[in-house]
């Protein structure tokens, strides 16, 4: 996929400190955080939207990665949100999972 900023990040063409990484995904801090913890988890392969995700492995990796970052940042009990774009309404057309916290219960994040 050309002209995809997240593909460039995966390939290392845009330097980024990964806070989590495995065979299927990488994760890094959002450039415009809306909470103390705002991490994006993205598949290494370009997938344009959630409904087009073919790989169950990506979901397993995201689950593990989110678990790790939640524990590292002591978000358990404080509340956090996981936001996933789909259907083409996103700014960047490379599937990404936002982990945002602490949010408290039922607190709007933006
Ligand atoms: P969305 O597509 O989910 O509506 O918005 C894209 C998200 O990616 C935004 O939260 C934005 O701040 C973040 N973002 C866009 N470009 C970059 C970038 O180059 N680096 C990082 N770390 N985050 C980015
Ligand atoms: Zn991409």
pLDDT of residue 64: 98
Angle (CA) 62-67-69 rounded to 5° is: 95
Tell me the pLDDT tens digit for each residue of 1-42.
568 999 999 999 999 999 999 999 999 999 999 999 999 999
Task: Tell me, using a 6 A CB cutoff, whether residue 92 lines ligand 1.
Answer: yes
pLDDT of residue 105: 59
pLDDT of residue 9: 98
Active site residue ranges: 96
- 43 CA distance to ligand 2 centroid (A)? 9
- Closest by CA to 83, choosing from 62, 60, 55, is 62
In order of 11, 39, 77, 103, the CA distances from 95 in angstroms are 16, 13, 27, 22
Four-CA torsion 21, 99, 38, 26, nearest 10 degrees = 20
Task: Tell me, using a 6 A CB cutoff, whether residue 5 lines ligand 1.
Answer: yes
- 31 CA distance to ligand 1 centroid (A)? 6
Beta strand 37-43 pairing with 81-84:
unpaired
Ligand nearest to the CA of 41: 1
Tell me the pLDDT tens digit for each residue of 50-100.
999 998 999 999 999 999 999 999 999 999 999 998 777 778 999 999 999
């Amino acid at each position: 996929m050309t002209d995809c900023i997240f593909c460039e990040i995966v390939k290392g063409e845009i330097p980024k400190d990964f806070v989590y990484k495995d065979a299927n995904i990488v994760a890094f801090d959002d450039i415009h955080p809306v909470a103390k913890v705002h991490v994006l988890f993205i598949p290494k392969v370009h997938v344009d939207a959630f409904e087009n995700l073919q790989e169950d492995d990506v979901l397993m990796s995201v689950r593990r990665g989110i678990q790790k970052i939640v524990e590292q940042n002591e978000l358990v009990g404080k509340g956090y949100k996981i936001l996933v774009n789909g259907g083409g309404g996103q700014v960047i057309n490379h599937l990404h999972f936002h982990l945002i916290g602490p949010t408290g219960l039922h607190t709007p994040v933006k």
